[in-house]
Structure 1
Amino acid sequence: MDTVIYFSLSVMYALLLAAGIYFAIKDRWHIFSAFLLIVIAALLYDNGILTTGRYIGEGTLLESLNFLRYWMHVFFTPLLILFAWQTLRAAGVTWALNRLGTYGVVFLTGVIIIIEALPLFGLSLEPVWQQGVLSYKRVSSSGGPLMMMAVSLSILIASIILWRRQRWIWLIAGLIGMGVVGVLSIPFESKAAGNITELVLILSLFATQLFQSRRAGSAGTNPRN
């Protein structure tokens, strides 16, 4: 069952990535906004490897492909901090438009990436079968919550400000939806619940970007948002 879920998620991310590239070129997204596409590509890869793991089989190839999953997670997920920052800039939030503040957020994101990447140099994986899905999991603990806390807090702050400033409720709705899906998945044995909640968040981020792009275009302002 989980293989079907991961496959469906892979298809969704492939469609989102294709649509995102189209709109990024058409609406001239800011580089920070385009980081969302990198995260989507990483999630497409992640779910794709989980889908095909059982067919690839245990061995060096699948282990290497799973190593890459962990590295992509560490290097690309924090980029959502910069995406959240850009949504505030696109909304005209004064302190987010400050160049020094932008440099600070970039620096903070880089520090988080370095901190989270250091443990990966000693990463050890072992094959695990779960709900018909073959993957390689960390032998040690999954590491600290710093990255996810920083990303979640950034998106939460942005969602509240956008709700109040632009009357855009769907980003905070995406965060709430993540929690609802997570709670509803508790009675089930599927290990794919976390991946489903990720899709809910990505959809709300994608919708937010489209909303701000269209809003900027209709207002005749700079479309690079």
Structure 2
Amino acid sequence: MTNILSVIHPFCHLSYILVEWVLLVWSIQLWRKSNSIAMIVLPILLVCSSYDNFVLLVGSLLGEGKLLESLSMLRFLAHYIVVPLFIVIVVELAHRAGADWAGSRFVRVLGWVLAIGLGIYDVATQFVGLELVPETFAGMLRYVAAQPNQLPIITILVNLFVMIIGIGIWRRLKWSWLFVGALVSLIGNAIPTDLVGTVLASGSELILALCMLLTEQRTQYMMAMLKLSTESQQSQLNLQTY
């Protein structure tokens, strides 16, 4: 079983990296069609996530030492900073889906303030004074927090927030995938990595990013259909008037 896991885990992290760069290209393409702020922020998360998976993938190749420890410290810092940005993305998706509460500039700015505030809080409470120790799971060497018995509270709260907004988008667009992605991410991040390794948490965040892209694509499709319907009605009105 250990030999099988030692093959599966590196393969999964390598696959995650490749998929994340595909999603990165896709997000840029969606941004070019809509100039959506969500599709500007999401690539940042995808780059950080691919870096996270890269460090996990090459840990055993680099071996214990300052280099891997430094790369791992940056991995933790990036995670604490960028995860709250999911709030910004989902507020923008709600705005583009036509949710009344997300239509005001105040709410959208508030989303940024909340995300930055949670990021600062996480860095201050989790990263400052962080001590890392080497750990091997399924043949993969990584550095972990010396005192890992703390739930990722901010990550869980962010996923709950996304789930709530996902329910609203589900009702509005008849599109459940954002809610499903947030639920998968919540479950994946709630399972301790010292029991199952990093594959579930990394994979669940990838699924959430994919569901956000699918939601943006769905929104663009609905907006295009609405525009087409409006133009058709206007053409019919013009013919009747003529």
Q: Report TM bin, short chain.
A: 0.7 to 0.9
Q: Which has the higher contact order (CA 8 A, sep 6+)?
A: 1
Aligned to 1:47: 53
1:66 pairs with 68, 72, 77, which one? Answer: 72
Specify whether residues 73 and 142 from structure 1 end up closer, same or farther in structure 2 by C-alpha distance, changes over 3 A only: farther
Aligned to 2:13: 6
Aligned to 1:16: 23
Runs of at least 5 residues in structure 2 that lack an aligned partner in the other structure: 1-6, 229-242
Aligned to 1:148: 155
Specify whether residues 207 and 164 from structure 1 end up closer, same or farther in structure 2 by C-alpha distance, changes over 3 A only: same
Task: Determine if contact 1:126/1:137 at 8 Å carries over to the other structure.
Answer: yes
1:90-125 Cα distance to aligned partner (Å, 9 max, x none): 111111112222232222222111110113121111
Aligned to 2:174: 167
Specify whether residues 74 and 92 from structure 1 end up closer, same or farther in structure 2 by C-alpha distance, changes over 3 A only: same
SS in 2 for 1:163: helix
Runs of at least 5 residues in structure 1 that lack an aligned partner in the other structure: none
Compute the displacement of 1:145 (Å). 3.7
Specify whether residues 71 and 180 from structure 1 end up closer, same or farther in structure 2 by C-alpha distance, changes over 3 A only: closer
TM (normalized to structure 1)?
0.86
Separation in structure 1 between the aligned mates of residue 14 and residue 96 of structure 2, nearest angstrom: 34
Specify whether residues 51 and 109 from structure 1 end up closer, same or farther in structure 2 by C-alpha distance, changes over 3 A only: same
What stretches of structure 1 move > 4 A for 4+ residues in a row?
A: 176-183, 188-191
Specify whether residues 109 and 177 from structure 1 end up closer, same or farther in structure 2 by C-alpha distance, changes over 3 A only: closer
Separation in structure 2 between the aligned mates of residue 71 and residue 181 of structure 1, nearest angstrom: 20
Task: Determine if contact 2:159/2:185 at 8 Å carries over to the other structure.
Answer: no
Specify whether residues 85 and 198 from structure 1 end up closer, same or farther in structure 2 by C-alpha distance, changes over 3 A only: same
RMSD: 2.7
The number of residue pairs the alignment matches comes to 219
Separation in structure 2 between the aligned mates of residue 138 and residue 37 of structure 1, nearest angstrom: 27
TM (normalized to structure 2)?
0.80
Aligned to 1:96: 102
Compute the displacement of 1:189 (Å). 5.2
SS in 2 for 1:141: coil
Larger radius of gyration: 2
Letter of the structure 1 residue corresponding to residue 140 of structure 2: V
Specify whether residues 168 and 111 from structure 1 end up closer, same or farther in structure 2 by C-alpha distance, changes over 3 A only: same
Q: Could you say which structure has the higher helix fraction?
A: 2
Task: Determine if contact 1:49/1:65 at 8 Å carries over to the other structure.
Answer: yes
1:208 pairs with 212, 215, 220, which one? Answer: 215
Separation in structure 1 between the aligned mates of residue 116 and residue 149 of structure 2, nearest angstrom: 20
SS in 2 for 1:122: coil
SS in 1 for 2:133: strand
What percent of counterpart residues are identical? 26
Of 63-72 and 10-19, more deviation after overlay is shown by: 10-19
Aligned to 2:142: 135
SS in 1 for 2:47: helix
Of 13-22 and 39-48, more deviation after overlay is shown by: 13-22
Compute the displacement of 1:176 (Å). 4.4
Separation in structure 1 between the aligned mates of residue 74 and residue 18 of structure 2, nearest angstrom: 20
1:154-177 Cα distance to aligned partner (Å, 9 max, x none): 211111111111111222232444
SS in 1 for 2:128: helix
Specify whether residues 62 and 22 from structure 1 end up closer, same or farther in structure 2 by C-alpha distance, changes over 3 A only: same
Task: Determine if contact 2:131/2:145 at 8 Å carries over to the other structure.
Answer: yes
